[in-house]
Amino acid sequence: MSDYVSVCPVSDIPEGHREVFGINDHWVAIFCISGRFYAIEDLCTHDGNILTEDADGNPVPLIDETVIKCPRHGARFDVTSGKFLGGPAGTVDLPFYGTRVEDGMIQVTLNPLKKPTG
């Protein structure tokens, strides 16, 4: 069983938005999609670039509601599973964290449920 940590109230991440938090020495992006919360590590597994912001600090929009495209080299990932969908050779799935809501707070596992393999 994984340990969870509270990161913010549910109201802090409305539908279609995301926030990034430091959890257990990792930057974790939490997305609200169709009323559910999903958490992935906010670093591309190709070269460690931040996924949720471009070089100017602007938010990177999702493609087709659940896909994020790395602003640096174009690797694509499903934010609901961390699955690598295409892009530079050698790129693997993102670490994916468990989420739950307890007493109005979004909680995230301290460690990823799924780590990159490849």
Q: What pLDDT score does 114 carry?
A: 76
List the CATH number of the domain containing 75: 2.102.10.10
Q: What pLDDT score does 117 carry?
A: 59
Q: Please, what are the averages of pLDDT over each run of 10 residues along the chain (118 residues)?
A: 89 97 93 97 93 95 95 95 91 94 96 72
Residue 117 domain-assigned (yes or no): no
- Predicted TM-score (pTM) of the model is 0.92
Q: What pLDDT score does 89 carry?
A: 82
Unique residue bearing structure tokens 């493609």: 63
Domains in the chain, number: 1
Q: What pLDDT score does 86 carry?
A: 94
Residue 22 domain-assigned (yes or no): yes
Q: What pLDDT score does 2 carry?
A: 63
**CB within 8 A of 117, min separation 6: which ones?**
92, 93
Q: What pLDDT score does 113 carry?
A: 86
Parent domain of 101: 4-109
Q: CB count, 10 Å around CB of 73?
A: 13
Residue 116 domain-assigned (yes or no): no
- Whether the CB-CB separation of 27 and 35 falls below 8 Å is answered with no
